[in-house]
């Protein structure tokens, strides 16, 4: 039961931020593509904009790993 709880916690720790990232990127992506079509010189800014939400997934991944390691998984 404890193992299930740990595994589920780790899964949620990465799943929820990843869903949030996906939602954010789904909004940013089309806007970024439209901006690039009109102003190709914005490519650097667009990379930043798209990469910013990924922080959530990455930190979620770090947290999930810590949960697993703490539990000795």
Partner 1 sequence: MSRVRVLGPREALSRTLEALQDLGLVHLSAPASRGALATAALEPRQLRLERQLKRILDDVRSATALLGADEVRTSASHPPGPWGRTARLARQVRREAERLQTRGRALEEERALLAKYQDVMAVFGKLFERGVAPGLRAYLVVLRAGQLGSVERLRTLLDGSLGRDFELRTHPLPSGELVLLLLVPLSNAPRVERLLGESGVEQVPLPRGYEGQSLADAVPHILERLHAIPGELEEVAKARAQLRQRLPELAEDAAAVHDRLSQLEGLRLSASTPHAFVLEGWVPTTEVRRLTTRLTETVGPSVSVEELAAEHWTAEAPVVLHNPRLFRPFQLLVGMLPLPRYGSIDPTPFVAIFFPMFFGLMVGDVGYGLVLALVGLLLRRRSRPGTSLRAISEIALGCALFTCIFGVLFGEFFGDLGRHWFGMRPLVLDREEPRDIVSFLGLCIALGLVHVMLGLVLGVVSAFRGHPRQAIGRGLSALMLLLITGALLAAFRILPHQLLSPLVVALLVAFPLLIIAEGLVAPVELLSTLGNVLSYARIMALGTASVMLALVANKLSGAMGSVVVGVIFGLLFHLINFGLALFSPTIQGLRLQYVEFFGRFYSPGGVQYRPFRHWRNT
20 contacts partner 1 (rule: CB under 8 A): no
Phi-psi region of 72 (alpha: psi -120 to 50; beta: other; left: phi over 0): left
Span from 4-12, 17-25, 30-38, 44-52 in contact with partner 1 (CB under 8 A): 44-52
Q: What is the DSSP string of 38-71?
A: H-GGGHHHHHHHHHTTHHHHHHHHHHHHHHHHHT
48 contacts partner 1 (rule: CB under 8 A): yes
What does the binding site for partner 1 look like in residue numbers (CB under 8 A)?
Answer: 41, 43-45, 47-48, 50-52, 54-55, 58-59, 61-62, 65, 68-69
């Amino acid at each position: 039961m404890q193992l299930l709880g740990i595994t589920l916690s780790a899964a949620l720790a990465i799943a929820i931020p990843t869903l949030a990232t996906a939602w954010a990127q789904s909004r940013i992506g089309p806007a970024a593509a439209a901006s690039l079509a009109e102003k190709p010189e914005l490519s650097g800014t667009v990379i930043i904009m798209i990469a910013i939400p990924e922080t959530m997934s990455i930190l979620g991944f770090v947290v999930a790993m810590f949960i697993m390691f703490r539990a000795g998984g």
